[in-house]
Amino acid sequence: MNAASQDASKRLLILASKLGYQTRNFAQAAQKLSVEVVFGTDRCHQLDDPWADRALALHFEQPEQAAERIVEQARAHPIAAILALGDRPTTTAAYAARALGLPYNSPGSVEACRNKLRQREVLSAAGLPVPEFFSFGLHEPVGEVLPRVQFPCVVKPLALAASQGVIRANDAREFSAAVTRIRELLESPEIQVLREPGLDRLLVERYIPGAEVALEGLLDRGELRVLAIFDKPDPLEGPFFEETIYVTPSRLPAEMESRVADCAKRTVRALGLTHGPLHAEFRVDANGPWVLEAQPRPIGGLCARTLRFGVEGDEGKIFLEELLVRHSLGLSGSNLPREACAAGVMMIPVPQSGIFERVEGAEEAAAIPGVEEIHITARLHDFVAAWPEGSSYLGFIFARARKPEELEAALRESHKNLRFILTPRLPVAHPATQRMPAGGD
Ligand code: ADP
């Protein structure tokens, strides 16, 4: 990075739990604009990024302390803007931005999003269409909870993301099995290490049938600009809810799209969100949209690559990452229109948990017309977990086409060519059986 071309007015702090492909894309967008990037992360033992050596080590589960650390650092190296990627760092970003006088959402508004129960309470009080819900303690006897449950329902933890631990239950037996399974997940070392508040309760909601859409938006001092509405053409009917295909523009009737956009505007107003990226999910049935969730962060993983902005015929189109970097720093270009073609991504689901040995057919998959890029993001020889315990995709297929139908077909055809070889993990021996007997040979 050319230090001479940088100044403090262009130093951007990116907060993320993992430094990897997603943060690299944002860093590259910033670099293109001669903007210096500083990372703040709570996973310093997992760095795999060339810029990570200067990352600030933060504890996102203690947002006020993490923000103090940012403010302290900013005294010596002033920052001009903060971008939080993923749900976890958003509260830290809000406290730090408030202390530094940078435009961002207020801590209260972000806190209302971080906890799924709190978000339901706020939206329901504001009259937004949300499913009926209640919460209960993780260790309450299921028999005492059951009389309150209406089936079918969805059970979920209060503060995980990417559909991790989200399970549909159609009857008492499935409900009880779901609660046991989520409890085990929440008590696993991988989740405990997050020290995420609120993981001692579960949320139960009425299952809402219907199509699901995601809305990508950008808030600017209270005004929401809808960047895209994505259809999710694979039915998300459970019992688990890993995502697959996202396609924009949506094929919903125009009138329903504008109801979704309107519902998103009322949602951000009720939550008090005002500035920066927004990702929201809705179910749509005959009555209109229902809010599933809204989060003050961009779409996850590498999916921001799906959205490109610029004037038709102009070579210099920019991806969503760059649009967001420009917006955060108040640079020009953040109001560029989205390109007119259909665009989409397939988040490659994990067919079954196992050690990821290799992928076959990638060349054939990449050769399907319309497919632009395939990124396999799972690391070879790592264990990957299927949903509901899992939360990371094997990779992403990106495509562009004239029409959403063509695009969806291209993604499906491409995916059909990919074969993932996953081998089962050896069962972990019980600690007692691992111990060497005294004097053993
Ligand atoms: P996360 O933040 O982990 O993604 P969500 O609450 O958004 O969790 O739920 C993940 C997915 O589960 C949703 O995208 C949707 O497909 C499904 N889902 C969650 N709640 C409901 C519900 N009440 N009715 C129908 N589907 C739901």
Q: Cα(334)–Cα(290) distance, rounded to whole angstroms?
A: 29
pLDDT of residue 311: 79
* Statement: residue 113 has pLDDT above 80: yes
* Nearest in space to 274 (alpha carbons), one of 37, 66, 112: 112
Does residue 53 belong to any structural domain of this protein? Answer: yes
Whether 122 is in the pocket of ligand 1, judged by its Cβ within 6 Å, is no
Q: Which residues contact 424 (CB under 8 A, 6 or more apart)?
A: 353, 354, 355
- If asked whether residues 439 and 347 sit together in one domain, one would say yes
* Statement: residue 294 has pLDDT above 60: yes
* Statement: residue 432 has pLDDT above 50: no
What does the DSSP assignment read for 125-194?
HTT-----EEEEETTS-HHHHGGG--SSEEEEESS--TTTT-EEESSHHHHHHHHHHHHHHHTSHHHHTT
* Nearest in space to 324 (alpha carbons), one of 6, 40, 74, 23: 23
- If asked whether residues 96 and 188 sit together in one domain, one would say no
Does residue 308 belong to any structural domain of this protein? Answer: no
Closest ligand 1 atom number to CA of residue 208: 24
Q: Which residues contact 233 (CB under 8 A, 6 or more apart)?
A: 245, 247, 408
Which residues are bridge partners to 291 per DSSP?
A: 282
- If asked whether residues 100 and 142 sit together in one domain, one would say no
Whether 202 is in the pocket of ligand 1, judged by its Cβ within 6 Å, is no
Q: Cα(208)–Cα(238) distance, rounded to whole angstroms?
A: 11
Whether 114 is in the pocket of ligand 1, judged by its Cβ within 6 Å, is no
pLDDT of residue 419: 97
* Nearest in space to 167 (alpha carbons), one of 390, 394, 393: 390
Give the global pTM. 0.93
Per-residue tokens: 165? 């631990």
Q: Cα(396)–Cα(297) distance, rounded to whole angstroms?
A: 19
Q: Is the dihedral of CA 402, 418, 168, 171 positive or negative?
A: positive
**Helices and strands: H and E segment counts in the chain:** 13, 21
Which is more confidently placed, 346 or 432? 346
Q: Cα(349)–Cα(255) distance, rounded to whole angstroms?
A: 32
Confidence of residue 370 (pLDDT cuts 50, 70, 90): very high
Instruction: Give the containing element (helix H, strand E) for 376.
Output: strand 371-376
Domain that holds residue 153: 132-206
* Statement: residue 429 has pLDDT above 60: no
pLDDT of residue 55: 85
pLDDT of residue 20: 84
Whether 207 is in the pocket of ligand 1, judged by its Cβ within 6 Å, is yes
Does residue 233 belong to any structural domain of this protein? Answer: no
Considering 190, 206, 222, which residue would you say is the last residue of a domain? 206
Confidence of residue 8 (pLDDT cuts 50, 70, 90): low
User: At 160, which CATH number?
Assistant: 3.30.1490.20
pLDDT of residue 290: 98
Confidence of residue 440 (pLDDT cuts 50, 70, 90): very low
Mean pLDDT of 271-288: 97
For the stretch 264-273, pLDDT in tens is 999 999 999 9
Q: What is the bridge-based pairing of β-strands 318-319 and 308-309?
A: antiparallel
Mean pLDDT of 99-105: 97
- If asked whether residues 70 and 137 sit together in one domain, one would say no
Q: By percentage, how much of the chain surpasses pLDDT 90?
A: 85
Q: From the CA of 241, how far away is ligand 1's center (Å)?
A: 7
pLDDT of residue 19: 83
pLDDT of residue 10: 86
User: At 33, which CATH number?
Assistant: 3.40.50.20
* Statement: residue 64 has pLDDT above 90: yes
* Statement: residue 376 has pLDDT above 50: yes
Which is more confidently placed, 313 or 283? 283
Nearest protein CA to atom 17 of ligand 1, as residue: 241
Tally of domains in the chain: 3
User: Which single residue is written with the structure tokens 């694979």?
Assistant: 234
Nearest protein CA to atom 9 of ligand 1, as residue: 163
